[in-house]
Amino acid sequence: MINQLKKKKEKISVIGMGYVGLPLAVAFAEKGINVVGFDINQSKIDEYIAGHDSTEEVGDERLQKVKNILFTSNPEDLKQAKFHIVAVPTPVLKNKMPDLRPVEGASRIVGQNLTKGAIVVYESTVYPGVTEEICIPILERESGMKCGVDFKIGYSPERINPGDKLHRVETIVKVTSGMDEESAEIIAQVYEQVIQAGVHRATSIKVAEAAKVIENSQRDINIAFVNELAIIFNKLGINTNDVLVAAGTKWNFLPFKPGLVGGHCIGVDPYYLTHKAQSIGYNPEIILAGRRLNDNMGIYVANQVIKLMIKKGHKIEGSKVLVLGITFKENCPDIRNSRVIDVIEELQEFGCNIDIYDPWADTKEVEHEYNLKLIKELNIAKYEAIVLAVAHNEFKQLKLKTKDNVVFDIKSILDETDGRL
């Protein structure tokens, strides 16, 4: 298959043209491989055809230079490809249960347009067993073909870090797997065409699926630990950041910082693992404890802000509060599963009037996702309290402190504050 791809006799398709799929599609195209970039969102496809990358993961200039990607919302175009990569989101429902509808929907679309001899690789984060137990039956039903005979499958978890210009798809080691030795080797070789950091061949699909969910679960637990430390040290009147700097002088102390835990991975993946664990009769205590603590940090921050406002004599009902940042992380336009919303909603419960300013976030997207409007200009003097929620570079030089206001710095990047995590 590698030679066929290189000679442009076969194509790769990437299903899901978001923060994961677009950089991957562009990377393959830049290696001279013909790519079908599919997404059900026609406006997104139109945007890419026009040469604009709103994710800022690839950039307009690089996107405009690539000529061998067919951006499409027509499922039948997938029939042109023999190697399919599914890179759709896998969120959680309001009850924190895995929401597999996007990956199931993608599987139906791929299955309906599958040709004999094709390989389907899933990159979406799932719990161990989803690829073989849920996706294969859908592919077989929709295609009328038999997995292992007419087509094969594999799993290779995405490791994209949105907004990170250092750790890109090409520079991160890729874990790959296949249903048998032949498919595993073909999948690894295909990814080796674009992955400079190398490929790790996992021993099975379930191993690769499990590796992905524990990567982010481990990080989630570590952040929960320092978040709990921040709560304790706040009660003791100790600066958490100073403690972490001092402890960090030991060679094996892990450098995690307190904060809100959101985004499409860290705040979601642990629930996939705990769901699977509970389905087999085991209740995972540490993972769920970490999730509970991190999920409540927005409420904790809002309550700290209110306490500081009361101490300064501010009337809470009707007070004006500015929140700086609504993306889930700094210097990135991604607002998916941003936990800044928890701070905003809790402050609104107290009767505060909230303004939100974020130069990175898309106004229409924020309004659609959270029913909130962004302000376009800053006037620091009009607010009783300011919450710095995201460490965008644009915020680091702002002078926010006045004689009477309250400034709470979630990210610990400001010199003058009334409170911080």
User: Over 165-195, what HEC string results?
Assistant: CCCCHHHCCEEECECCHHHHHHHHHHHHCCC
Rounded to 5°, the CA angle 171-177-179 comes to 160
Tokens of 33: 């491989």
| CA distances for 363 relative to 340, 374, 375, angstroms | 15, 6, 9
Q: Is-catalytic flag, 352?
A: no
Phi, psi dihedrals of residue 340, rounded to the nearest 5°: -60, -30
**Secondary structure of residue 4 in the 3-state scheme:** helix
Which amino acid is present at 402?
Answer: T
| CA distances for 188 relative to 64, 161, 330, angstroms | 28, 21, 33
Rounded to 5°, the CA angle 84-88-90 comes to 135
> Whose CA is closest to 55, among 95, 10, 22?
22
Which amino acid is present at 178?
Answer: G
Phi, psi dihedrals of residue 155, rounded to the nearest 5°: -140, 135
Tokens of 268: 């979601």
Which amino acid is present at 89?
Answer: P
- Point out which residues pair with 324 in neighbouring strands: 357, 388
**3-state helix vs strand vs coil in the chain, percent to 5:** 40, 15, 45
Marked catalytic residue, from 135, 147, 265, 332: 265
List the catalytic residues: 265
